[in-house]
Amino acid sequence: MGEETGFTLTLERVRDYEFRVRFDWPEAPVLTVDEPPPLGARGGPNASRLLAAAVANCLSASLLFCLEKSRTPPGALRSTVTGTLARNAAGRLRIAGLEVAIDLEGMQDAGNRLARCGELFEEFCVVTASVRRGIPVGVTVRADGEVVHREPAAASD
HEC assignment per residue over the chain:
CCCCCCCCCEEEEEECCEEEEECCCCCCCCEEECCCCCCCCCCCCCHHHHHHHHHHHHHHHHHHHHHHHCCCCCCEEEEEEEEEEEECCCCCEEEEEEEEEEEEECCCCCHHHHHHHHHHHHHHCHHHHHHCCCCCEEEEEEECCEEEEEECCCCCC
Same domain, 130 and 78: yes
Check: CB of residue 140 under 8 Å from CB of residue 147: yes
Same domain, 34 and 62: no
CATH number of 140's domain: 3.30.300.20
What pLDDT is attached to residue 109? 84
Which parts of the chain register pLDDT below 50? 157
Number of domains in the chain: 2
Same domain, 73 and 26: no
Same domain, 73 and 144: yes
What pLDDT is attached to residue 90? 97
Same domain, 52 and 124: yes
Same domain, 63 and 137: yes
Same domain, 69 and 107: yes
What pLDDT is attached to residue 156? 54
What pLDDT is attached to residue 110? 84
What pLDDT is attached to residue 24? 95
Same domain, 140 and 97: yes
What pLDDT is attached to residue 108? 87
In a domain, 156, yes or no: no
Query: Domain range for residue 97?
Result: 47-151
Count of Cβ atoms closer than 10 Å to residue 79 Cβ = 20
What pLDDT is attached to residue 157? 46
In a domain, 157, yes or no: no
Check: CB of residue 20 under 8 Å from CB of residue 90: no
Same domain, 141 and 87: yes
Bridge partner residues of 14 (DSSP): none
Same domain, 124 and 78: yes
d(Cα 120, Cα 76) in Å, to the nearest integer?
A: 20
